[in-house]
Amino acid sequence: MVQAIGDLGVGAAGDLVVGLIVATLAGFVGYALQSYRRRARPLVINLGFELIRDRGHKTVTLPADLAGNNRPSYMPTFREVQTDLAEVSQGIATARQVVDGAPSLLEAIDSSLAQLARAGSDTEILAAIAPPMSRGLFDDILTTACLRGRVQLAGPSKVDAASIKVHAYEVTDGNGCYHIGLPEHSIKFGDGVTKYPTIRERVIPFVNAVQCADRGALVESFEAARKLVQAELGLAHARLPHLLQLRDAHSRWLCAIYVANHGQSAMFVHPVLAWRFPTGGLQSRTARTATWWCRRKNRKASVIATSSRAFSFRQAASGGSTA
């Protein structure tokens, strides 16, 4: 009897231990399942990359091919080794304007010279010169050359009421220019004649040649214009790669990242990586210090994303960033 009771007690104790183990495992499994369902569910999307260029009056050192160039030109000149990025950007814009527009302008000038050679009337002469004169680059290069003394435009032998075929008048708004009433349409020429009397003095012969439809003077001036445009195109091709290289050396890539938490638990975002995007390639490195900026506190900090919260990171190549 005693042995039976003892055997019964041992069995009950075993059942109790098994029950405790099963209950404990069930609790852990239930807790794990509940935690899994309530976990933070991050969503990270790369919104894209943006190129940032330093602007303003940041001083840079020019390469030897650009510094000390005192040659008068439509292209900006750099007389000193040190300049600022605003001047570099202006040089790039002007060089691209010439590279993009000069080839077609040269074709228009060549076409005008061919038409002038076979023109049989004043109307045909005036029609021949209209296409290149309607282009802003023609005016810009020619008037700049006049201002800097690089060209001397030809005029007619005489100007009187009988020889004038079309009328031109000066408009003093802004820097001033001439309006010339060609048969097809009116064109503007001589930008800056009011602001710079030198331009007025040097473009008047050409304006008179247009008014009188003087074939010889127009051919001479258009041939001079072709040489100027060819020279500017060659200079733009030579300078543009150096200017772009100098600007790119002071450019950065910006990476924008969207982060959202779709789970029920808060998500702790710790800035363990800083991304560096130089213009020559893409690479990443481990950050020794926090690099995400907390806008609210205006200092470097980690971010806690609570449930359903989303925010964006904007990481610049230099290491500064915002959240």
155 and 261, same structural domain? no
Boundary-marking domain end, from 222, 248, 274? 248
Does the reported pTM lie above 0.75?
Answer: no
In a domain, 23, yes or no: no
Give residue-wise pLDDT tens across range 132-184: 999 999 999 999 999 888 888 999 988 888 889 999 988 888 888 999 988 87
| Cβ-Cβ contacts under 8 Å for 217 (sequence gap 6 or more) | 154, 155, 156, 205, 206, 209
203 and 190, same structural domain? yes
Nearest to 177 by CA among 146, 150, 151, 152: 146
234 and 91, same structural domain? yes
What is the pLDDT confidence band of residue 285, given thresholds at 50, 70 and 90? Answer: very low
In a domain, 276, yes or no: yes
Residue predicted with more confidence, 287 or 72: 72
Q: What is the mean pLDDT of the chain?
A: 76
In a domain, 22, yes or no: no
47 and 154, same structural domain? no
CA 94 to chain centre: 13
In a domain, 4, yes or no: no
Give residue-wise pLDDT tens across range 291-305: 333 333 333 344 444
pLDDT value at 280 more than 70: no
Between CA 181 and CA 298 the distance in angstroms is 62
267 and 243, same structural domain? no
Nearest to 188 by CA among 125, 138, 124: 138
Between CA 317 and CA 247 the distance in angstroms is 15
Between CA 290 and CA 292 the distance in angstroms is 6
47 and 81, same structural domain? no
CA 284 to chain centre: 25
107 and 203, same structural domain? yes
In a domain, 65, yes or no: yes
In a domain, 15, yes or no: no
Q: Which domain holds residue 294?
A: 38-53+251-322
Output the CA torsion sign for 16, 17, 18, 19: positive
| Cβ-Cβ contacts under 8 Å for 236 (sequence gap 6 or more) | 75, 94, 95, 96, 98, 99, 102
In a domain, 127, yes or no: yes
pLDDT value at 209 more than 90: yes
217 and 106, same structural domain? yes
234 and 291, same structural domain? no
Q: How many domains does the chain have?
A: 2
260 and 225, same structural domain? no
Q: Which of 87-101, 104-118, 266-280 has the lowest mean pLDDT?
A: 266-280
In a domain, 19, yes or no: no
Give residue-wise pLDDT tens across range 217-244: 999 999 999 999 999 999 899 888 888 8
Boundary-marking domain end, from 248, 281, 299? 248
Q: What is the mean pLDDT of residues 190-196?
A: 89
43 and 155, same structural domain? no
Q: In what order do the strands lie in the sheet with 168-171?
A: 168-171, 177-181, 186-189
The confidence score (pLDDT) of residue 322 equals 36
285 and 227, same structural domain? no
Boundary-marking domain end, from 212, 231, 248? 248
